Structure 1
């Protein structure tokens, strides 16, 4: 709707002595289509003009010279309601999509600016469970959305590759791992050893001391501890990258906590120099007032903490990338941690405090409660992806056994179903992991969107045409169902912007579901192929535009768009 808002604003602005940009910002979508396509609230003009909003609206309607894009204007209460010209709507929307193609909806508002997105960040030597799915697919979608707005996006995977848990892993591997080279099922073996350690630890607390000793050896650069750490790191990263390839996700940098170890002393020195630290019970802390606990930087024994490493990472990223924003896609249960980081930076007087954004999300839970790696209560993401793909293969075998590239399509649809399940609702909602819901391909699902795209492509192929230019006569798009699709298509650029600014890919998910529903209603009520030449041509152009936007929208969410299903 942006292009129509701008045209209305340019003609309305002089009458009310506003800048066009202000009018654009004030224009609203009416709650009911019967009230028009756009509405201008006159309430903001009442104090200055000293008139009732309905009187102002009536006066403007009488004096306003409507642009070609507006068919009629109505006064409803204190609103000026605009109804778009169907022919102009069709022409401008379809020409915009045809002209831009797969870049339709993109903008340059972020040109010359960099955004860092920190997401996924699984722990070394642990499986990639479905609990890591939200941060992974949210971060990927947010990265795509900001790239569409013209930003340079730096995608960082801050691996959990440091900490006392590695001491536990080393003890478990040496006691029960039988010096396995970890060439087969390495993550499964390490996972079972990790679970065994924590079960044994409950009965034998001395194991905890052994683990601490091994981690101290690692921190000191001990050769054997470093060898074991590198073994766990290498097999884990290889496994993670395989999963990321399956999800279609790439990172610019894999820099975990260990990367910042040699930068911690400098970071602590910088914080001390800012005069915001104090010593409490031998530990170095930054007091944050009465409402929050102090940020602990260094224990009395000199050991550093997660917050220290994160601050070192923030300083490094600021210096290296000069970003406008650093976005952390991390679960809601880490909110206090990011509040503390932000306040430390603020107390230091650094603009970096305003650049730090914590994009929180709800937890993934099993029906009985939160997942736990330590107790072995985990659903593995690779198992979910494989099960989803297998179920799609069964559906294809039953409904379309002659489908070309069956395995590829099954992978695209199965993986897409899992991704979309994590992105269709507000990111703050907890996800109860339920196999039946994840793999339900009916209703508001990724496969429904992919199928609608494949339907569009099928119609275009059946037409026998390669080009889908607009005819002069657009009467074939005057039907209400076609007009609704056109209006929905016009909202795509604004949807990208809205989803990005709110860090809320579900806004795009909802838009695509609405577009698919609008298109399928059009498909079922308006004949496309076999109509008069101009009618067929205009409707094929509409189908092509829907295919473009569905394909582009699915990509932004991290899904592929099969051409056949």
Structure 2
């Protein structure tokens, strides 16, 4: 949290010839966001010259997406509804009083655009970032039960993500869920929430039963001991291939509106269903097999996630859902006439409840539980265990219908409050990862290839490798950053490429480029630490165009994180960091070769380093130390 009090801030502002005390606006948080200081003073001016309500004035001020078009824009139809925009703009410009913070506004269609006074930026922004340090860009009050009371306790969030199906490959959608889910967790934690990370494994149901049948036919204890995950994938591939003709025939019969009961009472269908029945009845051998497969996968995945610097508070899964809770959900659905029996199955016809989501099966004709029933029971169990204020599922868009059904059923069960607390954060499930890695790949191979490519990339970038540290361990750490940054850079709703060569390059916005800039700034900050208060001459130097524009961008960071907290769209933070590094490149380009690092430069670049570090940490891109401050064979991470 900030060490700066409101009284101290107002004393500082008074020293800059600004009127104090600060005008009060409910939505402004001047101790968290420096732009709120500017907005507060501007809204106060607008209230007076436009003769409007305080809330209207403040809400009419919007950030600018283009620094050449001003730092902020006033939306005139919002400020003065019903008037002529041109007439309103010129009237406001004529009445606009002198203020140390703002240049004279200029009209632009329905906007009144306003530039900040360059000389004021370093005087306000640099002390703000220096004061808040790691807390800059975070607003811990968002996680309080009562934002007006620091002692009210923190809100609780459960985030479910990654959630691989342990009978199948770790797909591109699981990787993306892992990386986006980690971002969601870190974002909420930064905003003050008490966060629990849950990995809900696909470790139950008929896919596991089919694997059990397959292991009886193709399994080898020796092979399982040597390569547990690889052998299980191999067995699953063989039994799935053997089962494919029966599945295809069942689909043909269903498509022709026939009865599949006879077909599914024989062959692998019957073997699979019988194995699953034994699992649900806790048959010793069948249940022991499913537990063994689960335990082997958890051991493997725990090590895998550690390579991402990620831990889970709980490895849950379909197998962990209590039978009693499933029975409770089933009974509730029956009591409220939500479900019905049809062809031996228990299902919900969503058309009867105003949805175009078809039918959802709760129990199949053999009486076995379904994924939908287990999901509903899991939500109920978690709400009781964690007493959460919100639960977020970070799952690919191919589950959109599933979660729409889950949330609707909770409402139909008479639990609208619980339904309102759960959210599905979806993303495109289309990835090129399988095309690049081939069929049957294991998750570790993804990381191995990225790390190996990063080693080669650094060999081709000798100057950057020297700064970052040419050791193989540092290269591997940056390779993981490269992978994560690529997954985060694409908007959640868009398809994304899996381009190992591109992700491990030093193009703007890649993980390696962000690590390079961070190491460069960190080395500079440590070689030239801040030496105390800046002089008027220093502030004049920082008011020059490129440096002032960098300060403008740094001042926007709390706005960026606040927007990302609401949208849970990490690509916007990556795009913001591209703006930071591009502006840093412009500042460095303007400097003469060998020019001394003055206190003003040191303060500016240390502020940029702090913002870069904070943003990378929220994204899960752990900054590594530069070679000058760490052994070349040790990927020291900056805490």
**TM-score normalized by the length of structure 1:** 0.91
Contact 1:127 1:187 in 2 (8 A): no
Select 2:216's aligned residue among 165, 169, 174. Answer: 174
**Equivalent of 1:390, from 452, 461, 478?**
452
Q: Which residue of structure 1 lines up, in the alignment, with residue 406 of structure 2? A: 341
Alignment of 1:39-188 (within 5 A): 39-47=73-81, 51-107=83-139, 108-111=141-144, 112-180=154-222, 182-188=224-230
CA distance in 1, matches of 2:443, 2:53: 51
How far, CA to CA, are the matches of 1:32 and 1:123 in structure 2? 45
What is the Cα deviation at residue 386 of structure 1?
1.2
Aligned residue pairs, count: 555
State the 1:94 CA deviation.
Answer: 1.0
Residue 251 in structure 1 maps to residue 312 in structure 2: yes
Aligned partner (choices 563, 582, 589) of residue 498 of structure 1: 563
Change (3 A) 1:96 1:271: farther
* Cα distance in structure 1, aligned partners of 2:210 and 2:390: 36
User: Hey, what's the Cα distance between the residues in 2 that align with 1:325 and 1:235?
Assistant: 31
Equivalent position of 2:584 in the other structure: 519
Q: Hey, what's the Cα distance between the residues in 1 that align with 2:342 and 2:533?
A: 73
Residue 507 of structure 1 is matched in structure 2 by 572
Supply the distance in 2 between the matched residues of 1:215 and 1:252 (Cα, whole angstroms). 29
What per-residue deviation string (whole Å, max 9, x for no partner) do you get for residues 8-48 of structure 1? 2233234445554543332123454333211102113444x
| 1:285 corresponding residue in structure 2 | 347
- 1:301-320 residue pairs with structure 2 within 5 A? 301-320=366-385
Cα–Cα, structure 1 residues 45 and 402, in superposed 2: closer, same or farther, change >3 Å?
Answer: closer
Secondary structure at the counterpart of residue 224 of structure 2: coil
1:488 is aligned, of 534, 553, 558, to 553
Alignment RMSD, CA only? 2.6
State how far apart, in whole Å, the 2-side matches of 1:378 and 1:432 are: 19
Kindly indicate whether the alpha-carbon contact (under 8 Å) linking 1:362 and 1:430 is maintained by their aligned counterparts in 2: yes
CA–CA distance in 2 between the matches of 1:275 and 1:469?
72
CA drift of 1:336 comes to 0.9
Q: Distance in 2 between matches of 1:106 and 1:18?
A: 31
1:239 pairs with 2:300: yes
Which blocks of at least 5 consecutive residues in structure 2 are unaligned? 1-34, 145-153, 248-266, 628-639
Shift of 1:132: 1.4
Query: Could you tell which deviates more after superposition, 152-161 or 238-247?
Result: 152-161
* Alpha carbons of structure 1 residues 527 and 26: separation in structure 2 relative to 1, 3 Å: farther
Give deviations 1:187-245, integer Å, cap 9, x for gaps: 01111111111123346882343222222211110111122112211111011011110
| Residue segments in structure 1 that go unaligned for 5+ positions in a row | none
Q: Residues 143-192 of structure 1, C-alpha deviation per residue, up to 9 Å, x if partnerless?
A: 11122222222211111111111122222222222333733321011111
Is 2:289 the counterpart of 1:228? yes
Residues in 2 aligned to 1:274 and 1:284: alpha-carbon distance in whole angstroms: 14
CA change 1:543–1:468 in 2 (3 A) is farther
Give the drift of 1:502.
1.0
Determine helix, strand or coil for the equivalent of 2:62: coil
Tell me how far apart the structure 2 counterparts of residues 529 and 97 of structure 1 sit (CA, whole Å). Answer: 27
- Distance change >3 Å, CA 221–CA 384, structure 1 → 2: same
SS in 2 for 1:180: helix
Secondary structure at the counterpart of residue 73 of structure 2: strand
- Rounded Cα–Cα distance in structure 1 between residues aligned with 2:396 and 2:116: 43
Return the TM-score normalized by structure 2.
Answer: 0.81
Quote the offset at 1:295 in angstroms: 2.7
Cα deviation for residue 562 of structure 1 reads 1.8
Q: Partners of 1:45 and 1:466 in 2: how far apart?
A: 43
Alpha-carbon distance, 1:304 to partner = 1.7
* Deviates further, 282-291 or 250-259: 282-291
Partners of 1:331 and 1:88 lie apart in 2 by 46
Q: CA deviation at 1:472?
A: 4.4
Residues 129, 378 of structure 1: 8 Å contact kept = no
